[in-house]
Amino acid sequence: MSNRPQHFNLTFKPIGHSALLIEWPQQIEETILNDILNLQSRIEHELKDIIVETINAYNSLTLIYKHEVVSRDQLEDEIKKIYAVKSQAVTQQKKIWYIPVCYDKEFGIDLEEIAQLKKCDPNEIIKLHSSIEYLIHFIGFLPGFLYLGGLPESIHVPRKSTPRIQIKKGAVAIGGKQTGIYPSESPGGWNIIGNSPLNFFSPNQNPPCFAKAGDLLKFYSIKKSEHQQIATEVENGSFKIEYEIR
Protein backbone atom coordinates (compact mmCIF):
# COMPACT_ATOMS: atom_id res chain seq x y z
CA MET A 1 0.00 0.00 0.00
CA SER A 2 1.48 3.30 -1.02
CA ASN A 3 -0.56 6.02 0.52
CA ARG A 4 0.02 9.61 -0.47
CA PRO A 5 3.35 10.38 1.15
CA GLN A 6 2.60 13.96 1.98
CA HIS A 7 -0.43 16.12 2.42
CA PHE A 8 -0.10 19.68 1.21
CA ASN A 9 -2.00 22.78 2.15
CA LEU A 10 -3.99 23.58 -0.95
CA THR A 11 -5.37 27.03 -1.74
CA PHE A 12 -8.41 27.59 -3.94
CA LYS A 13 -8.92 30.70 -6.08
CA PRO A 14 -11.55 31.44 -8.72
CA ILE A 15 -10.56 32.45 -12.26
CA GLY A 16 -13.82 33.96 -13.47
CA HIS A 17 -17.15 32.18 -13.06
CA SER A 18 -16.28 28.77 -14.47
CA ALA A 19 -12.66 28.03 -13.54
CA LEU A 20 -11.10 27.12 -10.22
CA LEU A 21 -7.37 27.31 -9.55
CA ILE A 22 -5.91 24.92 -6.97
CA GLU A 23 -2.40 25.79 -5.82
CA TRP A 24 0.33 23.81 -4.10
CA PRO A 25 3.40 25.35 -2.40
CA GLN A 26 5.45 27.37 -4.89
CA GLN A 27 8.18 24.83 -5.62
CA ILE A 28 9.25 22.73 -8.59
CA GLU A 29 9.32 19.28 -6.98
CA GLU A 30 8.51 15.75 -7.96
CA THR A 31 6.45 15.09 -4.80
CA ILE A 32 4.25 18.08 -5.68
CA LEU A 33 3.96 16.95 -9.29
CA ASN A 34 2.88 13.46 -8.21
CA ASP A 35 0.33 14.87 -5.78
CA ILE A 36 -1.12 17.13 -8.53
CA LEU A 37 -1.32 14.27 -11.04
CA ASN A 38 -2.94 12.01 -8.45
CA LEU A 39 -5.62 14.56 -7.59
CA GLN A 40 -6.09 15.42 -11.28
CA SER A 41 -6.76 11.84 -12.28
CA ARG A 42 -9.17 11.31 -9.35
CA ILE A 43 -11.08 14.51 -10.18
CA GLU A 44 -11.29 13.55 -13.86
CA HIS A 45 -12.63 10.16 -12.80
CA GLU A 46 -14.94 11.05 -9.91
CA LEU A 47 -16.26 14.45 -11.06
CA LYS A 48 -16.41 13.84 -14.81
CA ASP A 49 -20.03 15.05 -15.03
CA ILE A 50 -19.21 18.54 -13.78
CA ILE A 51 -15.64 19.05 -15.03
CA VAL A 52 -15.04 20.24 -18.60
CA GLU A 53 -11.25 19.99 -18.46
CA THR A 54 -8.28 20.11 -16.11
CA ILE A 55 -4.94 21.85 -16.71
CA ASN A 56 -1.88 21.06 -14.61
CA ALA A 57 1.31 23.11 -14.22
CA TYR A 58 4.34 23.13 -11.84
CA ASN A 59 2.36 23.78 -8.67
CA SER A 60 -1.21 24.20 -9.81
CA LEU A 61 -4.24 22.46 -11.17
CA THR A 62 -6.94 24.49 -12.94
CA LEU A 63 -10.42 23.08 -13.35
CA ILE A 64 -12.88 24.33 -15.95
CA TYR A 65 -16.31 23.34 -14.64
CA LYS A 66 -19.95 23.52 -15.62
CA HIS A 67 -21.03 26.52 -13.55
CA GLU A 68 -24.64 25.92 -14.54
CA VAL A 69 -24.51 22.54 -12.75
CA VAL A 70 -22.31 23.18 -9.74
CA SER A 71 -21.40 26.25 -7.67
CA ARG A 72 -17.79 27.07 -6.88
CA ASP A 73 -18.36 26.39 -3.17
CA GLN A 74 -19.89 22.99 -3.89
CA LEU A 75 -17.02 22.11 -6.21
CA GLU A 76 -14.45 23.19 -3.64
CA ASP A 77 -16.14 20.97 -1.03
CA GLU A 78 -16.15 18.00 -3.40
CA ILE A 79 -12.44 18.42 -4.10
CA LYS A 80 -11.57 18.78 -0.42
CA LYS A 81 -13.46 15.54 0.23
CA ILE A 82 -11.59 13.74 -2.52
CA TYR A 83 -8.24 15.11 -1.31
CA ALA A 84 -8.96 14.16 2.32
CA VAL A 85 -9.61 10.51 1.51
CA LYS A 86 -6.34 8.69 1.95
CA SER A 87 -7.02 6.36 -0.91
CA GLN A 88 -4.22 4.56 -2.56
CA ALA A 89 -2.71 6.72 -5.22
CA VAL A 90 -4.13 6.10 -8.65
CA THR A 91 -0.91 4.64 -9.95
CA GLN A 92 -0.16 6.09 -13.31
CA GLN A 93 2.13 4.01 -15.40
CA LYS A 94 5.28 6.07 -15.83
CA LYS A 95 7.37 5.77 -18.93
CA ILE A 96 10.81 6.93 -19.94
CA TRP A 97 10.94 8.09 -23.56
CA TYR A 98 14.13 7.99 -25.66
CA ILE A 99 14.26 10.98 -27.96
CA PRO A 100 16.65 11.13 -30.94
CA VAL A 101 18.43 14.47 -31.34
CA CYS A 102 20.89 15.54 -33.99
CA TYR A 103 23.34 17.94 -32.33
CA ASP A 104 25.20 18.58 -35.60
CA LYS A 105 26.12 22.26 -36.03
CA GLU A 106 23.72 22.48 -38.96
CA PHE A 107 20.93 22.20 -36.35
CA GLY A 108 22.73 23.20 -33.14
CA ILE A 109 23.30 26.76 -34.28
CA ASP A 110 24.07 28.10 -30.80
CA LEU A 111 26.18 25.20 -29.56
CA GLU A 112 29.51 26.81 -30.47
CA GLU A 113 28.59 30.03 -28.66
CA ILE A 114 27.51 28.15 -25.53
CA ALA A 115 30.76 26.16 -25.58
CA GLN A 116 32.74 29.42 -25.69
CA LEU A 117 30.66 30.86 -22.85
CA LYS A 118 31.21 27.73 -20.74
CA LYS A 119 34.85 27.40 -21.86
CA CYS A 120 34.43 23.79 -22.87
CA ASP A 121 34.12 21.55 -25.91
CA PRO A 122 30.67 21.39 -27.61
CA ASN A 123 30.85 17.60 -27.23
CA GLU A 124 30.88 17.93 -23.44
CA ILE A 125 27.64 19.91 -23.60
CA ILE A 126 26.08 17.29 -25.87
CA LYS A 127 27.25 14.50 -23.55
CA LEU A 128 25.84 16.18 -20.47
CA HIS A 129 22.57 17.23 -22.12
CA SER A 130 21.93 13.68 -23.32
CA SER A 131 22.92 11.99 -20.05
CA ILE A 132 20.00 13.23 -17.96
CA GLU A 133 16.59 11.68 -17.35
CA TYR A 134 14.39 14.77 -17.49
CA LEU A 135 11.05 14.86 -15.70
CA ILE A 136 8.03 16.09 -17.70
CA HIS A 137 6.24 18.52 -15.37
CA PHE A 138 3.49 19.59 -17.75
CA ILE A 139 2.68 20.50 -21.34
CA GLY A 140 1.99 24.15 -22.17
CA PHE A 141 3.05 27.25 -24.14
CA LEU A 142 2.57 25.60 -27.57
CA PRO A 143 0.64 22.44 -28.46
CA GLY A 144 2.99 19.64 -27.40
CA PHE A 145 5.66 21.75 -25.65
CA LEU A 146 7.01 19.73 -22.71
CA TYR A 147 8.18 21.54 -19.57
CA LEU A 148 11.22 19.47 -18.53
CA GLY A 149 12.90 19.51 -15.13
CA GLY A 150 16.47 18.46 -14.44
CA LEU A 151 18.81 20.52 -16.65
CA PRO A 152 22.24 20.50 -14.93
CA GLU A 153 23.25 23.92 -13.62
CA SER A 154 26.54 23.82 -15.54
CA ILE A 155 24.63 24.17 -18.82
CA HIS A 156 22.14 26.83 -17.76
CA VAL A 157 22.38 29.53 -20.45
CA PRO A 158 20.56 32.91 -20.39
CA ARG A 159 17.93 33.42 -23.09
CA LYS A 160 18.96 35.42 -26.14
CA SER A 161 18.48 39.16 -25.68
CA THR A 162 16.64 39.32 -29.02
CA PRO A 163 14.36 36.37 -29.73
CA ARG A 164 14.54 34.77 -33.16
CA ILE A 165 11.53 35.38 -35.41
CA GLN A 166 11.43 31.76 -36.51
CA ILE A 167 12.70 28.63 -34.84
CA LYS A 168 12.47 25.32 -36.70
CA LYS A 169 10.06 22.61 -35.68
CA GLY A 170 11.87 20.06 -33.52
CA ALA A 171 14.56 22.51 -32.31
CA VAL A 172 16.07 21.36 -29.01
CA ALA A 173 17.02 24.37 -26.94
CA ILE A 174 18.18 25.73 -23.60
CA GLY A 175 16.52 28.82 -22.08
CA GLY A 176 17.82 29.83 -18.67
CA LYS A 177 17.34 26.87 -16.31
CA GLN A 178 15.17 24.95 -18.75
CA THR A 179 15.56 22.75 -21.77
CA GLY A 180 12.84 21.90 -24.26
CA ILE A 181 11.82 21.01 -27.79
CA TYR A 182 9.90 23.40 -30.07
CA PRO A 183 7.00 21.20 -31.28
CA SER A 184 6.21 23.53 -34.17
CA GLU A 185 7.76 26.48 -35.97
CA SER A 186 7.62 29.43 -33.59
CA PRO A 187 9.39 32.62 -32.57
CA GLY A 188 11.60 32.04 -29.54
CA GLY A 189 14.50 33.25 -27.43
CA TRP A 190 16.11 30.00 -26.37
CA ASN A 191 19.58 28.80 -27.42
CA ILE A 192 19.33 26.07 -30.03
CA ILE A 193 21.60 23.05 -29.63
CA GLY A 194 20.02 20.42 -31.88
CA ASN A 195 16.92 19.06 -33.58
CA SER A 196 14.63 16.08 -33.07
CA PRO A 197 12.79 14.63 -36.08
CA LEU A 198 9.79 13.47 -33.97
CA ASN A 199 6.26 14.90 -33.83
CA PHE A 200 5.46 16.09 -30.32
CA PHE A 201 1.86 16.97 -31.18
CA SER A 202 -0.20 14.85 -33.57
CA PRO A 203 -3.61 16.44 -34.14
CA ASN A 204 -4.97 13.26 -35.73
CA GLN A 205 -4.35 11.19 -32.61
CA ASN A 206 -6.19 11.38 -29.31
CA PRO A 207 -4.42 12.04 -27.02
CA PRO A 208 -2.31 14.15 -29.39
CA CYS A 209 0.89 13.80 -27.33
CA PHE A 210 2.76 10.51 -26.81
CA ALA A 211 4.31 11.74 -23.56
CA LYS A 212 2.44 12.93 -20.49
CA ALA A 213 3.18 14.83 -17.32
CA GLY A 214 5.03 12.61 -14.83
CA ASP A 215 6.88 10.66 -17.55
CA LEU A 216 10.65 10.86 -18.01
CA LEU A 217 12.54 11.75 -21.16
CA LYS A 218 16.15 11.13 -22.24
CA PHE A 219 17.82 12.45 -25.37
CA TYR A 220 20.24 10.40 -27.48
CA SER A 221 22.58 11.75 -30.10
CA ILE A 222 22.09 10.81 -33.75
CA LYS A 223 23.96 11.60 -36.96
CA LYS A 224 22.61 13.85 -39.71
CA SER A 225 21.92 10.83 -41.92
CA GLU A 226 19.92 9.17 -39.11
CA HIS A 227 17.94 12.37 -38.58
CA GLN A 228 16.95 12.27 -42.24
CA GLN A 229 16.09 8.57 -42.04
CA ILE A 230 13.95 8.96 -38.89
CA ALA A 231 12.21 12.04 -40.34
CA THR A 232 11.17 9.90 -43.33
CA GLU A 233 9.94 7.09 -41.06
CA VAL A 234 8.01 9.59 -38.89
CA GLU A 235 6.43 10.97 -42.05
CA ASN A 236 5.20 7.56 -43.25
CA GLY A 237 4.21 6.46 -39.75
CA SER A 238 6.67 3.58 -39.41
CA PHE A 239 8.91 5.07 -36.71
CA LYS A 240 8.35 3.66 -33.21
CA ILE A 241 9.51 5.90 -30.38
CA GLU A 242 11.47 3.83 -27.88
CA TYR A 243 10.35 3.76 -24.27
CA GLU A 244 10.56 1.71 -21.11
CA ILE A 245 8.09 1.40 -18.28
CA ARG A 246 9.33 2.64 -14.95
Partner 1 sequence: MNDFVEVISPGLFSTIQDQGRFGFRKYGSPTAGVMDEQSAALANHLLNNPSGSPVLEITMTGPKLLFSTSTLISIAGADISPKLNEHSISINKVIAIQKGDILSFGALRYGCRCYLAIKDGFQTEYILNSYSYFSNITTNNRIKKGDQLPIKKHVAKQSHFSTVKIDDEFFKTINIKCSKGPEYHLVSNSEIVFQSNFSISNDSNRMGYRLDGPAIPYPTAFEMLTSSVLPGTVQLTPSGQLIILMKDCQTTGGYPRILQLTTDGINKLSQKKAADLVALVLQE
Interface ranges with partner 1 (CB under 8 A): 13-17, 19, 21, 23, 26, 28, 52-60, 62, 64, 138-145, 147, 183-184, 201, 203-204, 206-209, 213
Supply the DSSP symbol for 155. Answer: G
As measured in angstroms, the least distance from the Cβ of 25 to partner 1 is 10
CA atoms within 13 A on the CB side of 29: 9
As measured in angstroms, the least distance from the Cβ of 121 to partner 1 is 33
Cα 76 to Cα 47, 73, 150: the distances in Å are: 12, 5, 33
Let me know how long the chain is: 246
Rank residues 108 and 183 by Cβ distance to partner 1 and give the closer one. Answer: 183
Residue 140 has a CB neighbour count (10 Å cut-off) of 15
Rank residues 47 and 64 by Cβ distance to partner 1 and give the closer one. Answer: 64
Rank residues 128 and 241 by Cβ distance to partner 1 and give the closer one. Answer: 241
As measured in angstroms, the least distance from the Cβ of 186 to partner 1 is 9
Supply the DSSP symbol for 21. Answer: E
As measured in angstroms, the least distance from the Cβ of 60 to partner 1 is 5
Asked if the bond preceding 100 is cis, omega within 30° of 0, the reply is no
Q: CB of 239 within 8 A of CB of 230?
A: yes
Rank residues 108 and 180 by Cβ distance to partner 1 and give the closer one. Answer: 180
